[in-house]
Amino acid sequence: MGPAAIVTLKVSQSQSLGWWNRVVALDTILVFTADGCPHCRALCEDFDRRGVVYREINLSREPDEMAHLRELIWEHRLPVVADHERVSIGFRGQSSTFSDLGLE
């Protein structure tokens, strides 16, 4: 899978996401971002322009949230969009690596 790939994963009902069930309503969209990520910025601007309601989790400012993200994905790329049934990595075919963003 190349660096421009967008990955969408279906979250199985059997997958243990206890923290998700405690803090996220079924209609909540989580967007994991980081400072300096142009694809994260573009995604959030697109969502804002279209009136999409989401909760942004900026890993540069909330590094403890990385543990939650690692429960959802094994890729080390941002942005990540998660809802109650799927997880998508990237925006319009582009993503930034954790190392590019100083997260590793």
Considering the chain, what is the average pLDDT of its residues?
Answer: 82
Q: For 14-33, how does the pLDDT look when each residue is reduced to its tens digit (9 = 90+)? A: 444 555 555 555 678 999 99
What pTM was computed for the model? 0.78
Q: Is residue 74 part of a domain?
A: yes
If one counts the domains in the chain, the total is 1
CA 90 – CA 81 distance, rounded (Å): 8
Q: Is residue 101 part of a domain?
A: no
Residue 88 has pLDDT above 90, yes or no: yes
Backbone dihedral angles phi then psi of residue 57, each to the nearest 5 degrees? -120, 105
Q: Is residue 2 part of a domain?
A: no
CATH number of the domain at 13, please. Answer: 3.40.30.10
pLDDT band at 8 (very low <50, low <70, confident <90, very high): very low
Residue 25's pLDDT is what? 59
CA 78 – CA 52 distance, rounded (Å): 19
Q: For 48-78, how does the pLDDT look when each residue is reduced to its tens digit (9 = 90+)? A: 999 999 999 999 999 999 998 998 899 999 9
51 CB-side CA count, 13 A: 0
pLDDT band at 6 (very low <50, low <70, confident <90, very high): very low
